[in-house]
Structure 1
Amino acid sequence: MATLTPGNENLLFPAHVFRFQVDFAEEPLPPNTGSANAVSVPLCSGAFSECAGLEATMEPKTIKEGGKNYGVNHRAGPVTFATVVLKRGMTTTRDLWKWFELVAKGAYAYRLSATVTLFGAAPSVDGEPEPLVSWKLERAIPVKFKAADLNAKGTEVGIEELHLAHEGMTLVARGGGAA
């Protein structure tokens, strides 16, 4: 069972939710040799103005105990994950559309991991923004791709919405492993 340890992560500094990035990577299955050293292959990154749906919900199982007339017992039930919606995005490649098109044409097993990283407000020592927290979406699949409306007076960027269904969400530790 994981335990919480006191440390710097418990300090109350504001996390500005407008500084985040989404990275997509292909994660091959580990080889049959029993080694778990499969290397993640980064495909593309995107800058989005909104990310909604980083949500996991556990439905408790209720057990009614005979002779216990006041209350019920609760046990952990199945966990479900919300569809992650990325809005008003921008990327320098066409990889996200190609991925959607592949899946829509029958390559439904072509899954990617998507990592949403929230950055701190102040730059780190090397001048790059310091990542505060990352969520990794396991085996994500695009279920909706919406291009921006074409309007000469508009200021929208290329991708209006990208919806991702996924099979699990983990909180990634600062060193890169699961938290």
Structure 2
Amino acid sequence: MLNILAISGSLRAASTNSALIVALAQNAPPGCHVTVYDGLGRLPIFNPDDEGERTPAKATMLIDAVNKADGVIVSCPEYAHGVPGGLKNALDWLVSRDAAVGKPATLVHASPRSLFARAALTEIMRTMSFALYEDVTLEIPLLGKKPPEVEKTLAEPTNVLAMRNTLSAFADFIRSR
């Protein structure tokens, strides 16, 4: 059984990125278990002076979750043409650790407009030595939809199939490493 950690870069209660990763978890194919990380908003601001034995418990929980995962999925909104601060902060807690090195990761998208954030996040994750899987990309346009419409869109058979196919392809990538 592969254990995949899914992280939404959004803190909004009605986040389409969060809805997408929850739907991925609900539609995981056999052999994959997707855990949704929900601690982004509770992480303290990264400070290199607080690393090592001074690492805060919430940051340690994130680091441990990434270490234990076979792969990581990130769904990220774009704020002012960049990666949201909360997600960047989470990644900063991983920078000096081995958790990201060689860890299979992939990006999924809830908006076709987040091109700058995608590019920035890809660069950040490559710099951190994540093993980015980019052969199959999942983009389900949810931008501007209200929660009931998001739920309906994510439940459409073509989108469920796209989520399963993306997870299956990512799982094959993880297994091939």
TM-score (norm. length: structure 1):
0.28
Q: Which has the higher contact order (CA 8 A, sep 6+)?
A: 2
Structure number with higher strand proportion: 1
Determine which structure has the larger helix proportion and give its number.
Answer: 2
Which structure has the larger Rg? 1
